Amino acid sequence: MWAYVNGAFVPDRDAAVSVHDRGFRYGDGVFDTLRVYDGRPFLIDEHVGRLVASSKTLGIGGLPPGDALSALIREVITRNGFGNALVRTTVTRGVSDGWEPDPTARPSVVVVGRPFSGYPAHLYRDGASIVVTTIRIPASPPDPVLKSLNRLAQIQAKREAMARGADEAVLCTDAGLVAEGSVSNVFCVDAGRIITPPASVGLLPGITRGVVIDLARREGLACDETPFGLEDLQGADEVFLTSTGMEVLPVTRVDGRPIGLGRPGPIASALRRLYHVRVRENG
């Protein structure tokens, strides 16, 4: 497999950045993961746009322009002959001797990929289980809207989910509002109304989340960005998660208790079908 590292395509096993890279030293960078279906990247403009915007917010300059980054991603797909895959792009502030950012440093840009055809089928058939962790979503810094390399709260939350035998962990805010999963966004359905927390709660408003809100509204379903608490999550008729890798994943257990009838619900199933239609329309 081939990877792109700072100006060159190299065999994946040789892909490396300096131990002085600020991404390694301090998590001083951003990343993005996009999905490839049948050799075509899905929503590449949105993914590259988010990466460029996050880099700009952090003041990481000297990046190739968005269309050049897109071309690198496409080149990684082509060189590897990817059919279905995940491609991850990482950008860091580059190398520095110490804590102080070096304004003359060139950013590091890395693009790697791996074959990926989706999460296991049984999760969609039976629904996933989630646990609500006591780990709070960090309000600041870094702003959770940034897809930064700082993922410690989410990693600790994911470890907790794994230890409790669950598929995903949900993090709340300090105020006790549901924010998001460790690597996903959360939706509830209550009496036919779909709700998901607004970005203002403090979460990464995922690209899949945006697509699913759009699909729901086009279908004439009520879908609102509204803050909600744990009781709403636990008492919902349906719960589902969204992310690039998961697409629309129904949840049937929260903290070991069944959601609704304990089976994937009709709205999550419908949105998953519509999502697949959108994927097929791509390219």
CA atoms within 13 A on the CB side of 248: 27
When binding is defined by CB under 6 A, the residue of 154, 173, 196, 252 that contacts ligand PDD is 154
Tell me how far, at minimum, the Cβ of 261 lies from ligand PDD, in Å. 27
Single out the segment in contact with ligand PDD by CB under 6 A; choices: 62-70, 114-122, 159-167, 180-188: 180-188
CB-closest chain residue to ligand PDD: 206
CA-CA distance, 111 to 5, in Å (whole number)? 7
Least distance to ligand PDD, CB of residue 104, Å: 29
Q: Which is nearer to ligand PDD, 101 or 156 (CB)?
A: 156
Closest CA to 147 of 64, 216, 52: 52
- In whole angstroms, the minimum distance from the beta carbon of 75 to ligand PDD comes to 20
Residue with tokens 């502030």: 93
| Dihedral sign for Cα atoms in the order 178, 179, 182, 184 | positive
108 binds ligand PDD (CB under 6 A): no
Among 184, 233, 254, 268, binds ligand PDD (CB under 6 A): 184
Quick check: helix, strand or coil at residue 126? Answer: helix
* DSSP code for 42: S
54, 55, 90, 243: residue in contact with ligand PDD (rule CB under 6 A): 243
For every residue of 1-52, DSSP letters joined together read -EEEETTEEEEGGG----TTBHHHHH--EEEEEEEEETTEESSHHHHHHHHH
Q: Which is nearer to ligand PDD, 96 or 196 (CB)?
A: 196
Q: Which of the ranges 119-127, 192-200, 238-246, 250-258 carries the binding residues for ligand PDD, by CB under 6 A? A: 238-246
Site string for ligand PDD, 30-69 (x = CB under 6 A): ---x------------------------------------
Are the beta carbons of 226 and 232 closer than 8 angstroms?
A: no
CB 37, CB 282: distance < 8 Å: yes
Exactly one of 92, 96, 173, 208 binds ligand PDD (CB under 6 A); that residue is 208
Question: Can you read off the two tokens belonging to residue 135?
Answer: 């780990």
Give me 37's structure tokens.
Answer: 């279906």
- Cβ neighbors of 129 (< 8 A, separation 6 or more) are 165, 166, 167, 168, 251, 252, 253, 254, 256
Among 108, 148, 150, 244, the residue binding ligand PDD under the rule CB under 6 A is 244
Per-residue binder mask for ligand PDD (CB under 6 A), 246-275, x = binder? ------------------------------
Binding site for ligand PDD (CB under 6 A): 33, 154, 180, 183-185, 204, 206-209, 242-245
